[in-house]
Amino acid sequence: MSTQQFDTYAKFYNLLYKDKDYTKEAEYVHQLISKHCQKDRSAVSLLDLACGTGKHLFELSALGYENLHGSDIAKPMIDVAVEQSGQSGKDIKFHNYSFQEAHNIPGKYDVVISMFSAVNYLTSFEDQLKTFKNIHGLLAEGGILLFDFWNGNAVTRDYSPVKVLRKKDQSAEIVRVSTTEIDLIKQSAAVKFNCQYFEGSQRVDEFEEVHHLHYYYFSEMFNLLKIAGFSLVHVSPFLEPDQPVTPFVWNISIVAQKS
Ligand SMILES: C[S@@+](CC[C@H](N)C(=O)[O-])C[C@H]1O[C@@H](n2cnc3c(N)ncnc32)[C@H](O)[C@@H]1O
């Protein structure tokens, strides 16, 4: 399975998100794993689905996790991850499967994570349920799934129709204009990215990608997880494990256990 989404974007992904605090996010993931998984981190087998360029995996490796796998639908994202894994000497295994085809990933895992609202790229309930069932099959007995998702209540109230993001490093700059259209009937968001890439003052690349997402409501996620054979063990706003979820929390984190 391949995708147009993220194919060009992959080249620029790490620059676009260079200030995203993956270290803090990995610590949050670790905190939740420690609470809901009995094993020591060095013994935990963990799979990151829709891992992108592997940023959470590298941080988890730095935290002492030793058995790490990642998978993503977009080969160009995986290529970046593999290259960085080679450069850093980390032994992380990468696979190129979509959520929908994740049952083909070898092995059993104590923990499956999927971060940065990646499940919102699943635009039908059928695909979301299939994904949860695939994850259920990939988990060892009592294993946990940890993910975050866009909450429909917040998205429909607070989304920005137009946003500009500008990121710079020593040699390059990227300017991304995103235009979002929400379809309230289909519960979908079409996010059009226009990206311009500069080296010095020279514009050397420009491309557009449309990302199709689906926003979910908590009760939908809860029911899909239940049908797939999970029970909920944790719900909170993303990065705030001790806070309650209110209707307008944009990113909800869930930990669900294979039952
Ligand atoms: C917002 S990025 C998040 C990447 C990574 N988890 C992170 O936090 O940096 C969303 C990722 O989902 C992947 N993706 C989109 N649809 C997918 C699908 N159906 N199956 C697996 N991965 C998918 C994209 O290729 C992309 O890498």
Domains in the chain with CATH codes: 10-152+216-258 (3.40.50.150), 154-214 (2.20.25.110)
Distance 194 CA to ligand 1 centre (A): 19
Sheet holding 172-183, edge to edge: 162-168, 172-183, 188-199, 202-214
pLDDT by residue for the chain (259 residues), tens digit each?
445 678 788 888 999 999 999 999 999 999 999 999 999 999 999 999 999 999 999 999 999 999 999 999 999 999 999 999 999 989 999 999 999 999 999 999 999 999 999 999 999 999 999 999 999 999 999 999 999 999 999 999 999 999 999 999 988 999 999 999 999 999 999 999 999 999 988 999 999 999 999 999 999 999 999 999 999 999 999 999 999 999 999 999 999 999 9
pLDDT of res. 2? 41
Q: Which of 1, 2, 3 to mutate to test the pocket of ligand 1 (most atoms within 8 A of CB)?
A: 3
The ligand 1 atom at the shortest distance from the C-alpha of residue 55 is 9
| Binding site membership of 47 for ligand 1 (Cβ less than 6 Å) | no
Residue 27 has which token pair? 């610590």
Ligand 1 pocket check for 60: Cβ under 6 Å? no
- In this prediction, residue 3 carries a pLDDT of 55
198 DSSP β-pair partners: 173, 203
Angstrom distance (rounded) from CA 51 to CA 57: 8
Cβ-Cβ contacts under 8 Å for 3 (sequence gap 6 or more): 73, 74, 98
CA atoms of 220 and 246, how far apart (whole Å): 16
Q: What is the pLDDT of residue 1?
A: 43
Amino acid at 201: S
Burial class (CB in 10 A: 0-12, 13-18, 19+), 46: buried
> What are the CB-based long-range contacts (under 8 Å, 24+) for 172-176?
172/15, 172/197, 172/198, 172/199, 173/197, 173/198, 174/12, 174/15, 174/16, 174/198, 176/16
Strands 93-95 and 202-214 turn out to be unpaired
